Amino acid sequence: MLAESVPVGSVDSVIVEKRKTGPALRPADKFYPKMLGYLLRYAVEKASQGVGEVTVITDTLPVAKKRKAVEKAVKTVLADMLPSGTPYRVMHHSSRAHYGLQVADYFNWAIYRKWEHGDASALDTLDSQVRSQFDIFRKGKRFYY
């Protein structure tokens, strides 16, 4: 998962080792909203000083149930985090047609390569743009599968 904080042009990420995710949090309708909530909360706190409007753009999810869960999570976190009266919107676009999502996908891929395969070569070229890589279960010792 990745959020880009505009206008500072930095990227925040939450790293999730899924095998450390407890059974109660594993269903998609629980897992994605919760992890997305942590990411948005951090990104919005860092970027919210003087923000006139917040726009969150996601890739169009093919499954309506998952799309609704993601949208609900985004709206809930934004409503809780933003100063009262700050407008926000959630938009869904095909990543094939939206350059911002293509850039986000590249950052995601580079971060994934580092964490999953120990290959930071692509991420090293983007390092000045990456503000955070938060390993949410870093202290977890228990593996569920």
Report d(CA 15, CA 108) in Å as an integer: 10
Instruction: Locate 11 and state its tokens.
Output: 């990227």
Report d(CA 27, CA 84) in Å as an integer: 32
Give mean pLDDT in consecutive 10-residue pieces for the chain, a chain of 145 residues: 51 93 89 84 72 84 79 83 85 90 94 96 93 94 93
**Burial class of residue 111 (count of CB atoms within 10 Å of its CB; 0-12, 13-18, 19+):** buried
pTM, entire model = 0.78
Whole-number pLDDT of residue 108: 94
Whole-number pLDDT of residue 50: 61
Whole-number pLDDT of residue 22: 95
Tell whether 141 is covered by a domain.
Answer: no
Tell whether 121 is covered by a domain.
Answer: no
Whole-number pLDDT of residue 63: 79
Tell whether 108 is covered by a domain.
Answer: no
92 contacts: CB under 8 Å, gap ≥ 6: 57, 58, 59, 60, 61, 67, 71
Q: Domain residues for 28?
A: 2-93+130-135
Tell whether 30 is covered by a domain.
Answer: yes
Tell whether 115 is covered by a domain.
Answer: no
Backbone angles phi, psi at 15, to 5 degrees: -100, 125
Tell whether 85 is covered by a domain.
Answer: yes
Tell whether 53 is covered by a domain.
Answer: yes
Whole-number pLDDT of residue 4: 46
Whole-number pLDDT of residue 110: 97
Report d(CA 39, CA 75) in Å as an integer: 13
Structural domains of the chain, count: 1
Tell whether 70 is covered by a domain.
Answer: yes
